[in-house]
């Protein structure tokens, strides 16, 4: 049964989720990294995102424990990004969003 209290808790939980993964890029970056670690420039190209915005988004994902940043001992120095084990907790969300997006695209394209 939905009470005012359970609805408030639900809204707070949704707000908390959006604070962590909301915006145009975070879920896109997480979905790209599901295929394995990527270097900064690879992520920038694949997501079609500017380096400045990418850096900000990755910092926030790292701060929230979803992405791990590794500085490689190469010349020049390269930085790789990978998902953390904690990011697996978002798998159901990403899968559901992908399924819905595919259905929505079909509905819009096919009328």
The yes-or-no verdict on residue 111 having pLDDT over 90 is no
Average pLDDT rounded to a whole number, residues 85-105 = 95
DSSP annotation of 90 reads G
Q: Six-digit token pair at 93?
A: 């969300």
Burial (CB count within 10 angstroms: exposed 0-12, middle 13-18, buried 19+), residue 66: buried
* % of the chain at pLDDT higher than 70: 100
**Structural domains in the chain, sorted by start:** 24-110 (1.10.10.10)
CA dihedral 23, 27, 32, 36 (to 10 degrees): 130
pLDDT of 37-87, one tens digit each? 999 999 999 999 999 999 999 999 999 999 999 999 989 889 999 999 999
Q: How confident is the model at residue 98 (pLDDT cuts 50, 70, 90)?
A: very high
> What is the per-residue pLDDT across 36-51, written as a single tens digit (0 to 9) for each?
999 999 999 999 999 9
pTM above 0.85, yes or no: yes
- Which sign, positive or negative, has the C-alpha torsion 49, 52, 58, 60? negative
């Amino acid at each position: 049964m939905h009470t005012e209290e359970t609805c408030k808790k639900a809204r707070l939980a949704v707000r908390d989720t959006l604070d962590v993964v909301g915006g145009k890029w975070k879920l896109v970056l997480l979905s790209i990294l599901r295929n394995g670690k990527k270097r900064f420039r690879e992520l920038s190209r694949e997501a079609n995102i500017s380096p400045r915005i990418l850096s900000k988004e990755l910092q926030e994902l790292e701060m929230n424990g979803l992405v791990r940043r590794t500085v490689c001992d190469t010349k020049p120095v390269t930085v790789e990004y990978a998902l953390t084990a904690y990011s697996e907790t978002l798998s159901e969300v990403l899968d559901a969003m992908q399924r819905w997006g595919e259905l929505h695209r079909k509905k819009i394209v096919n009328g």
